[in-house]
Amino acid sequence: MKELVFASNNANKLRELRELLDGKYMVLSLSDIGCHDDIPEESDSFEGNALGKALWVKERYGYDCFADDSGLEVFALGGEPGIYSARYAGCDHDSAANNAKLLERLENINDRRARFRTAIALVCGDKQPIFFNGYVDGEILKEEHGAGGFGYDPLFRPDGWDKTFAEASPEEKNAVSHRGMAVRKLVAYLEAK
């Protein structure tokens, strides 16, 4: 089984990715390769941050690697929180605080359309990096619903659904999610090689 490093120690993302890759690849975390550094995210785009993380691991540890950068874009807020989704309410990646800040910012706004986006950068061997993108449109509810998922999932209801990502099973979410879409593109590319 081919090994790929996923440039993250986010347990929720690792679980989702391992479910999506369904045993086709051995997905190693940063901890698995002995990397405990805080990899900087210095770009102003999802693609740039994903590429920066993947190159950082490849250059320092030598592993073929993929990295993602994901976030929520709320149209009425000019795309906020965007690349700052995990740090919207501060640097400690506090989902409850992030959700509270988002609800506060949207308090008097009727247009609650939003989009979850993922960009994955794959760095293999000496080839040029390849990108895989995914997105799902939906809306931000006025209060949280559901206990599953993570991050903004209790507030985000995808278009055509009657429940939030936090109320969905992992399989339901992965079937339509931004990350699921991008990972399926990654897997299709790897299987075609």
Residue 69 annotated to the active site: yes
Catalytic residue among 32, 44, 69, 126: 69
Give the contacts of 69 (CB within 8 A, at least 6 positions apart): 41, 46, 47, 48, 49, 50, 53, 83, 118, 119
Other C-beta atoms lying within 10 Å of the C-beta of residue 101? 16
Cβ contact 17:183 at 8 Å: yes
Other C-beta atoms lying within 10 Å of the C-beta of residue 36? 8
Residue numbers annotated as active site:
69
